[in-house]
Structure 1
């Protein structure tokens, strides 16, 4: 996970504790401190590192963003000769069986390279406010890529073979880096899968709908166009969807919030598992 100056120390503590307490215990938790952070946040992280030697702290001399932070962790990870790379954000909470469930699945399904899961959305107080269920099969995931990022990024576990093959997050992107990576991997024949299990509690705070911003909206549009081109999935439906979502993103936050909730309900009801 990457930690930034604005991260809430209490949420970071919950995130780290949820990994430290996993039923699967053979891991290294790499925390990338992305630029300068406050004393309280640093003390929270340092206290865990001092009590558990599975924690590894990496430091960026300035805030580079998530993509470069993850690439930093990937490169350092090569020193351990790992089999898997597991993502998580610093304000989320993993279920206690997350690692065991995903790694167990990948151990029995050697053809799958990228494995995600469903997630539960929680608010600032940890109360459930929604869910995000993604399509399960590789065919569904790739078919949906021209319209949406069909993997929940904080839930993914990736075989390290992907990185041995030279793939990385695009460090020039400050957002949507995962979306572009999935498209690139799909284009190169890697297989995806999503578990129906909700293995992560994703923090959806009050300003979630406002934080998407114009830059992220245009990057999502570019990703959809990139998916259509790379995966040869040009269609009136896909193009119309991309344009429609871009227009929606530019609307007031309340409209975006209503559309987001409707989208999640439809995914929960109609996505096949």
Structure 2
């Protein structure tokens, strides 16, 4: 997990607490402080680390972004013995108590699976549930749909360390959508994906959620869709139309994006075959 200046200390506290209270206890929790953060956040992180020996706090001298911070965590992890899986989460989210246990059990029992995501519950700034995001479960459908959407919820993912020992990393040049590009590269190389339908993470959806995607993120997603079509050999009229339609939708007013987002969640939960 990485945290930076804009993260609310109380949300960071809840995120860390949710990991420390996991039913699966055999883990190392690396928290990367990405640049300067409020003194209260620093004091809280150090207090957690002092109380729990599983927590390691690392400090970046300046803000380098999520992808670069995760790559630093990966570089550290590949040098450690006994680390089998790499788990992700964000500093404003919270894991359900059984998240690690269920994902570890699944990966232990399915050696063919390399990347495992889960469903998530979306909560507002007050922590109240406001939605959900459940992705397709099977590898076939996850990959088939990649030219149209990012089919793994990034904050829920567990990745087998073999992926990183093979040399794969996030693209640190990208300030957003890094996970989407990584999934495309891994799918093209034959790595196996799965999603658990259980909602094992509470994902924070803040008030500006529908506004903050911006033109850069929208263009990156647009580019990723065409890269996915090329690398996965899935050029089609439907996939091309979808990429163009979503780009147009992203540029519309926030209230239109909000309506489309809710409709999309209904499609994922009720209509798309898993």
TM-score relative to the length of structure 2? 0.98
SS of residue paired to 1:57? strand
State the match for 2:123 in structure 1. 122
2-structure distance, mates of 1:254, 1:212: 14
Deviation at 1:259, TM superposition (A): 0.5
State the match for 1:206 in structure 2. 207
State the match for 1:39 in structure 2. 39
Deviation at 1:266, TM superposition (A): 1.2
SS of residue paired to 1:150? coil
Contact 2:119 2:198 in 1 (8 A): yes
State the match for 1:79 in structure 2. 79
The yes-or-no answer on 1:178 pairing with 2:179 is: yes
State the match for 1:25 in structure 2. 25
Contact 1:71 1:168 in 2 (8 A): yes
State the match for 1:104 in structure 2. 105
The yes-or-no answer on 1:147 pairing with 2:127 is: no
Contact 2:78 2:164 in 1 (8 A): no
Deviation at 1:60, TM superposition (A): 1.1
State the match for 1:156 in structure 2. 157
Contact 1:141 1:192 in 2 (8 A): yes
Summarize deviations over 1:132-160 as a string: whole Å, max 9, x none. Answer: 01000000000000000000000000000
User: Counterparts in 2 of 1:30-69, with a 5 A limit?
Assistant: 30-69=30-69
SS of residue paired to 1:59? strand
The gaps in structure 1 that reach 5 residues or longer are none
Summarize deviations over 1:16-71 as a string: whole Å, max 9, x none. Answer: 00000000000000101001111111112111011001001111111111100000
Aligned length: 273
SS of residue paired to 1:167? coil
SS of residue paired to 2:263? helix
Summarize deviations over 1:165-193 as a string: whole Å, max 9, x none. Answer: 00000000000000000000000000000
SS of residue paired to 1:46? helix
Deviation at 1:8, TM superposition (A): 0.4
User: Counterparts in 2 of 1:235-246, with a 5 A limit?
Assistant: 235-246=236-247
TM-score relative to the length of structure 1? 0.99
Contact 1:133 1:271 in 2 (8 A): no
SS of residue paired to 1:91? coil
Deviation at 1:212, TM superposition (A): 0.4
- Structure 1 segments of 4 or more deviating over 3 A? none
